[in-house]
């Protein structure tokens, strides 16, 4: 019974952590999509070619 209540409370009021992996070809816009999700604005995003990989954290509603 306790686990049901904690899951219900977490689902209603708690935040969830989700990990997303974005893969694609060179110059396909992966970094641009990531930065647009992070900024939530309509202005153009200036990016440079990525060497290696990017790790970013963003919050959307109750999902981190």
Does 42 count as an annotated binding residue? no
How far apart, in whole angstroms, are the C-alpha atoms of residue 55 and residue 51?
12
Does 47 count as an annotated binding residue? no
Structure letter (DSSP) for residue 59: -
Does 58 count as an annotated binding residue? no
Does 32 count as an annotated binding residue? no
Backbone angles phi, psi at 37, to 5 degrees: -65, -35
Does 2 count as an annotated binding residue? no
Does 27 count as an annotated binding residue? yes
How far apart, in whole angstroms, are the C-alpha atoms of residue 61 and residue 13?
11
In the annotated binding site, the residues are 24-31, 50
In the annotated binding site for Mg(2+), the residues are 31, 50
In the annotated binding site for GTP, the residues are 24-31
């Amino acid at each position: 019974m306790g686990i049901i209540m904690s899951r219900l409370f977490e689902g209603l009021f708690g935040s969830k952590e989700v990990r997303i992996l974005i893969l694609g070809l060179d110059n396909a816009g992966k970094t641009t999509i990531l930065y647009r999700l992070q900024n939530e604005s309509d202005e153009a995003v200036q990016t440079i070619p990525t060497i290696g990989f990017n790790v970013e954290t963003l919050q959307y509603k109750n999902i981190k």
